[in-house]
Amino acid sequence: MGLHVEELRGSLTAEVNTLLNNPTQSVTQLYKDDDVDELFRESWEGIQVRGDERLPSLYKQFARDADSTSRHGRLQKLTPHIVGSNVHVHFRYFCGDAAGQNMVTIATQRDIIIKGQMASDKKPSWGNVKEPRGVQVIVWARLDDTVCKEILGCTTGRLYQAILMLKEGGIRNGQFGCNTNAANIIAAMFLSCGQDVGSVAEGCWSHLTPEYDWTTGELRLSMFFPSLPVGVVGGGTFYATQQESLQILECQGPGGKRRFAGLVGAFALALDMSTVAAIANNTFAKSHAALARGVNQTRNCVFANPKL
């Protein structure tokens, strides 16, 4: 199966072509000086108007203070959200090849009381789907029927029907996102490559889309990851074993962060197809039984062969 990795930069346009690299932080009350105090301690009714009017004028001050804490982090955008009598401000940063989670916490603390839960750190949210926190990735794959039968043990038509069946079940169950097994590969790569394992919770959200050509039997696949909070410098990437893993993947050095994010997405799509194929070709339960109980203890097990 050939996998093509495309790197995206989030924008308001439908077609984009480079990576988004914007870790974020959110806060509740700003207090740094008299101007800020005046802005955020108006009457409840006046907060939204004051915030919309005055916050842009304070951007340069915030950027100067935040940028002074790091050689690489740069404040890019401030977005206010009014929640009751509090103002939650969303800070967006550029962090180079670092994941930036420590970087943005230190930079933002320079200006505010930290943590307002608008950044969804280590939690899945629709906010991180519509405006990424980390690297945004989409991967594509094409499968012809011959290769699918040889490698995955089922036809592309059967694989397509299995994907649709799983997607429909997920919708009925109210699942968040659309994938089969992305969390496993993301957790494995985060552990082995020095990432923040807690961020698997937000990073594993993805959207799998199949397109089947009824004439040629070709199955086209795409998988979208809006927020992969990854980095190749800082944090756990300093450990020798994790550095070795990044070196094997050729993800060290400038631009390595974007390559790493693309590889995570590509491997996740490959594992998703392997898992769905196991369901479609009736080996999913057999494999679990063999691994859990040993091959000799599964000889008397009866496995159905359902029609999709």
Query: Where a domain ends, among 130, 164, 195?
Result: 130
Residuewise pLDDT in 10s, the chain (308 residues)? 344 444 333 322 222 222 345 555 544 433 334 444 444 444 444 545 555 567 777 788 888 888 888 888 888 888 877 776 667 777 888 888 888 888 888 877 755 655 667 778 888 888 888 888 889 999 999 999 999 999 999 999 999 999 999 999 999 889 889 999 999 999 999 999 999 999 999 999 999 999 999 999 999 999 999 999 999 999 999 999 999 999 999 999 888 999 999 999 999 999 999 999 999 998 887 776 777 666 565 555 555 565 65
Kindly state whether residue 277 falls inside one of the protein's structural domains. Answer: yes
Query: Where a domain ends, among 102, 130, 158?
Result: 130
> Are 139 and 126 found together in one domain?
no
> Are 126 and 144 found together in one domain?
no
> Are 113 and 147 found together in one domain?
no
Kindly state whether residue 201 falls inside one of the protein's structural domains. Answer: yes
Show contacts of 274-277: CB within 8 Å, 24+ apart: 274/152, 274/181, 275/180, 275/181, 276/159, 276/162, 276/163, 276/166, 276/180, 277/148, 277/152, 277/153, 277/154, 277/159, 277/162
Phi, psi dihedrals of residue 221, rounded to the nearest 5°: -130, 145
Here the CATH number for the domain that contains residue 154 is 3.90.770.10
Kindly state whether residue 13 falls inside one of the protein's structural domains. Answer: no
How many C-beta neighbours within 10 Å does residue 185 have? 20
Kindly state whether residue 124 falls inside one of the protein's structural domains. Answer: yes
Here the CATH number for the domain that contains residue 60 is 3.30.70.420
Kindly state whether residue 211 falls inside one of the protein's structural domains. Answer: yes
> Are 144 and 113 found together in one domain?
no
> Are 82 and 184 found together in one domain?
no
Domain count of the chain? 2
Is-contact 257 136, C-beta < 8 A? no
Phi, psi dihedrals of residue 165, rounded to the nearest 5°: -60, -45
Q: Rounded distance, CA 89 to CA 142, Å?
A: 42
Kindly state whether residue 207 falls inside one of the protein's structural domains. Answer: yes
> Are 121 and 243 found together in one domain?
no
> Are 180 and 46 found together in one domain?
no
Q: Which residue range is the domain that position 90 belongs to?
A: 21-130
Query: Where a domain ends, among 115, 130, 145?
Result: 130
